[in-house]
Amino acid sequence: MNILVLNSGSSSVKFQVIETDLDLIAKSGDKKLASGIIERIGSESIISFKAEGNPPVKQTAPIRDHKIAIDKIVKWIISKEANVPNIKSLKDIHAVGHRMVHGGEKFTRSVMLNEQIIRDIEDCIELAPLHNPANLKGVYAVNDIFGNGVPQIAVFDTAFHHTMPDHAYLYAIPYQMYRRYKVRRYGFHGTSHRYVAYRYRLLNNLPKKQVNVITLHLGNGSSVCAIKNGNSIDTSMGMTPLEGLIMGTRSGDVDPAIIQFLSHKEGYSLAEVESILNKESGLLGISGLTNDMREIIAEAEEHDDRRAKLAITMYCYRIRKYIGSYIAAIGNVQALIFTGGIGENSDLIRAKICEGMEIMGIKIDQDKNKELHGKEGLFSDDKSAVALWSIPTNEELLIARDTVRCIEKAPLP
Ligand code: AMP
């Protein structure tokens, strides 16, 4: 089957076309056929498309909304110019898998979309006002472009974390706030945490129940997940993706009393403070320069910039605190798994996180670590009790596979 995987963000749409089916999944023989992104939807958009084996196509064009963006993507995929193998018309795209950020308590696994389920996802908008509306625009656009003929599947970022116990997902606020409004920790990046835990399991030939690891998704958004017996038992993001680690522009954990304090001192509304915590904080807020870790490292190394160095130290320190607490939560941790743009590519950040953690059984092999950039590999010292892995994430592949499993009514792992 040829699966179109769509990740519709607030001003961008990313896609991949993946050939897969149950046999190919069993043999890990799935094939990426094409990929791309349209960025800056709503103004002069930047379009980058690539069919495997062909050179990338880059152009700019004014693209008004998500529907026009997805129409452009689909027209390109089926075009002679793209020359995607075995795809010549709409009929050759057999299903669409959507990344959906928030599934609330209702969606604990991937689902085939129908009108009722779309309404139920719309009901979760309140929990993810920044993300779900954009994800849903992708669904509406596919309905318009394909008609109702193509099966559509939603894969939720929150679903992997539904196994968290109540003592981990509840906030210590009056219980009726949970009853009334479902205020609780949901966690995000679940597709990524699930994928790298699954890869670890394959690489080590372990049954799911024997996987006890900490997965670190370190990118522009960052989160940690404690996985015990193959299930998520805790994670650093909360009711929204604002909680937990320091991120590109998000503060992560702060004392909630700061909100009222800043509002009073600066005359900000609550929405303005929330926007500062989401968009002007994290690496950007501390460094005063950028949210981009590569640039922060360059500033620290080339110009000895004090605040760039501080941002790196704070970023790693927060992660180390979470690792310590998740070792306590899991008990017998076999491995730390690093993924995401920073986790997969930055040997410097991985080394700083693992520094001085021998007491917890974590010992890095500096040479192996330096060789791993965007590649799968082990970088712990032979004597380390906890294995250290870098495993590039592949959320699109997992979405394509869940799409096939939903269509074939096969069990979802
Ligand atoms: P993501 O959101 O997963 O795409 O990750 C984006 C983040 O990864 C940005 O902060 C990038 O600067 C960072 N990143 C990518 N490559 C590197 C690298 N080689 N060293 C440090 N950070 C990197």
Question: 122, 156, 190 — which closes off a domain?
Answer: 156
Per the domain annotation, does 182 fall within a domain?
A: no
Whether 116 is covered by a domain: the verdict is yes
Question: pTM of the prediction?
Answer: 0.96
Q: What percent of the chain has pLDDT over 70?
A: 100
Could you give the percent of the chain with pLDDT greater than 90? 94
pLDDT of residue 162: 97
| pLDDT above 80 for 296 | yes
Q: Which atom of ligand 1 is the closest one to the Cα of 340?
A: 3
Q: How far is the CA of 102 from the centre of ligand 1 (A)?
A: 24
Residues 145 and 6 in one domain: yes
Structure tokens at 194: 């699930």
Q: Is 196 part of any domain? A: no
C-alpha of residue 380 to centroid of ligand 1, in Å: 22
Residues 104-115 have a mean pLDDT of: 95
Instruction: With respect to residue 171, please indicate whether it lies within any of the assigned structural domains.
Output: no
Residue 95 is assigned to a structural domain of this protein: yes
pLDDT tens digits, residue range 114-158? 999 999 999 888 888 878 899 999 999 999 999 878 999 999 999
Q: Cα-Cα-Cα-Cα dihedral of 394, 353, 190, 387, to 10°? A: 70
What would you report as the CA-atom Rg of the chain, rounded to the nearest whole angstrom? 21
- 52-56, 345-349, 388-392: the lowest-pLDDT one: 52-56
pLDDT tier, 359 (very low <50, low <70, confident <90, very high otherwise): very high
Residues 259 and 110 placed together within one structural domain of the fold: no
Report, as an integer, the average pLDDT of 172-201. 97
Which amino acid type is present at position 209?
A: K
The answer to whether residue 413 scores a pLDDT higher than 90 is: no
- Tell me the pLDDT band of 197, cut-offs 50, 70 and 90: very high
Residue 8 is predicted with a pLDDT of 94
On whether both 130 and 248 belong to a single domain, the answer is no
Is residue 80 in some structural domain? yes
Residue nearest atom 15 of ligand 1, based on CA coordinates: 341
User: Is 191 within the bounds of a domain?
Assistant: no
**Ligand 1 atom nearest to CA at 221:** 2
CA distance 17 to 235: 30
Which letter, b or e, does each residue of 53-65 get, where b requires 16 or more Cβ atoms within 10 Å of its Cβ? eeeeeeeeeebee
Task: Tell me, yes or no, whether 355 and 245 share the same domain.
Answer: yes
Cβ-based neighbours of 257, under 8 Å, separated by 6 or more: none
On whether both 253 and 322 belong to a single domain, the answer is yes
Note if 21 is an active site residue: no
220 C-alpha to ligand 1 centroid (Å): 7
Q: What is the mean pLDDT of the chain?
A: 96
* Domain assignment present for 395: no
Question: Domain residues for 357?
Answer: 207-390
Q: What is the pLDDT of residues 59-68, one digit of tens each?
A: 999 999 999 9
Q: CA 55, CA 403: separation in Å to the nearest integer?
A: 28
- pLDDT of the residue at 367: 97
* 220 Cα nearest atom in ligand 1: 2
* Domain identity same for 223 and 370: yes
Among 123, 157, 347, 365, the active-site one is 157
Between the CA of 410 and the centroid of ligand 1 the distance, in Å, is 35
Average confidence (pLDDT) over 372-394? 97
Query: Residue 386 is part of a domain; what is its CATH number?
Result: 3.30.420.40
Domain check: are 234 and 332 in the same one?
yes
At 231 the three-state DSSP class reads strand
Exposure string of 158-173, with b = 16+ CB inside 10 Å and e = fewer, is bbbbbbbeeebbeeee
Please report the pLDDT score of residue 83 as a whole number: 92
Residues with CB under 6 A from ligand 1: 219-220, 248, 292-294, 297, 340-342, 345-346
Band (411; pLDDT cuts 50, 70, 90): confident
Q: What is the pLDDT of residue 124?
A: 85
Which residue's CA is minimally distant from atom 20 of ligand 1? 346
Instruction: Say whether both 130 and 268 belong to one domain.
Output: no
Confidence of residue 246 (pLDDT cuts 50, 70, 90): very high
Q: Clarify whether residues 130 and 271 are in a common domain.
A: no
> Are residues 56 and 147 located together in one domain of the fold?
yes
Q: Are residues 6 and 150 in the same domain?
A: yes
CB of 139 within 8 A of CB of 208? no
Q: Which residue has the tokens 């689902």?
A: 111
Cβ atoms of residues 74 and 89 within 8 Å: no
342 alpha carbon – ligand 1 mean position (Å) = 4
> For residue 380, is pLDDT > 90?
yes
Report the number of distinct structural domains present in the chain. 2
Pocket test for ligand 1, best of 296, 344, 345 (most atoms within 8 A of CB): 345
Q: Which of 117, 137, 156 is the last residue of a domain?
A: 156
Of 156, 176, 191, the domain-final residue: 156
Q: Answer yes or no: are the C-beta atoms of 3 and 95 closer than 8 Å.
A: yes
SS3 category, 50: strand
Strands 57-62 and 222-228: what pairing? unpaired
Residues 150 and 249 in one domain: no
The rounded Å distance from CA 344 to ligand 1 centre is: 8
